[in-house]
Amino acid sequence: MDKISGDIKKEYRERAVLVGVDLSKGNGKEYSEFERSMEELENLAKSCFMEPVAILTQKMESINKGLYIGTGKVKEVQEVAERLEADIIIFDNALTPSQLRNLQDELGKPIIDRTTLILDIFESRARTREAKLQVESARLQYLLPRLVGMHEALTRQGGTSGSMSSRGAGEKKLELDRRRIEQRLSELRKELDQVSKERTVQRKKRQESRIPLAALVGYTNAGKSTIMNAMIDRYMGEENKRVLEKDMLFATLDTTVRRINTGNNKDFLLSDTVGFIHKLPHTLVKAFRSTLEEVRNADILIQVVDYSDPFYPEQMKTTGETLAELGAGDIPMIIVYNKADLCAEEISYPRIHENKLYISAKDDTSVQMLVQMIIERAYSDFVEVKLEIPYDKGNIVSYFRENAHILSQKYGEDGTEILVKCHKADSDKYREYIRN
């Protein structure tokens, strides 16, 4: 499966050799999950402005504990990297500290693994202060156990053991780096806790408004941001409210919330979250947990699936696993099969089949159908009640006017009589004014 590319594009900053190990026991006749993982690694490299000049793979029963790949393959990787003047070598799985150190000694070129590559992408895309703090925290957590061997050029030999002053230069540097990283992680935790508190206050205010929250979730590059922008264009018409939309992995990192004004007081909040991916680093899930709280607190999830991708079932499985890890596996969900217009076979859209919606985010009718589906699900807890509000309680009428759908209104002898469709919680709160 090894392949070498001769087409080098000038806009890429570095030339990369990609390396992977196939541990599957299949016969290799079908397009395997491993091949899909390597293809995804190639796209990740391109997203980080690297040009994959060669893809080298090895089928093994188990990983080489010392070098990840076999010794013969190490020599082949070295020869290919030298011949193609590669700047960097990328491995498809997370490397242990010893594997990283041994490979750097053998290959003599910068080595990174899939996790580091994803961290690099996140770092380059982070825009808000919160995202930057989260990415830095994830990177330092991943780097900490990998410090050993990074200062091999310095001697480890010192005098007697025990104190910092008696250690070799390399050992001192390692210890100082560890202390600096642990200190910075402590600072980051405090800053992120503060940001998390601010986000909690914002979330509480939204919950008090009784406006339902719908969260877009799914695999990276499935079209979540395109769907959000389509709704913003149609129902808000504010160009400055749009989010970044680009055909690349992890184009959007920052969680964005927009109020979609559909009319008839049936607005809802729409949240666009970071996309998921196969082998998403645990440190990133942990670091972005506060941001992804928007998912956990959503009234309804909209899982966006790239229906044109032949591996969409596996992508849906990855999304489901990540949602379960976040504690959001039981939230009601709408499955949206997007990019129906790009499918190899002709697909009828927009249409609903077995509670699943087939659409193209670029089709206005598709967007309207999705919005209607969100409204029906999000407002399923709303009830129709008749209330008589005393004239000296005009603030209650104002509240319902802003947070519910008033079907009729008239002025009686003792107060304002309204027929309203509202959230059940509001009906219970003002039950003393309900009239038959």
Per-residue pLDDT 10s for the chain (436 aa) are 465 554 434 466 889 999 999 988 765 544 578 888 899 899 899 988 899 999 999 999 999 999 999 999 999 999 999 999 999 999 999 898 889 889 989 998 999 999 899 888 888 877 778 888 888 988 898 888 877 644 443 333 344 444 444 444 445 677 788 889 899 999 999 998 888 788 778 777 766 666 888 999 999 889 999 999 999 999 987 777 887 766 666 666 667 889 998 876 788 999 887 788 887 777 777 766 666 777 888 889 999 999 999 889 989 998 998 888 888 888 899 999 999 999 878 888 999 987 799 999 999 999 999 999 999 888 887 888 999 999 999 999 998 888 787 889 999 988 999 999 888 888 999 999 998 7
Q: What is the DSSP string of 193-207?
A: HHHHHHHHHHHHHHH
Q: What does the pLDDT read at residue 12?
A: 64
Quote the tokens at residue 318: 């990855």
Q: What is the phi/psi pair of residue 411, to 5°?
A: -105, 120
Angle between helices 114-125 and 129-143 (to 10 degrees): 160
Residue 311 carries which side chain, given as an amino acid letter? Answer: F
Strands 14-22 and 50-59: parallel
- Length of the chain as a residue count: 436
Residue with tokens 């080489």: 64
Q: How far is CA 302 from CA 64, 324, 336, 375, in A?
A: 41, 15, 7, 12
Instruction: Say how far apart CA 408 and CA 402 lie, in whole Å.
Output: 14
Q: At what angle do helices 114-125 and 33-47 cross, to 10 degrees?
A: 40
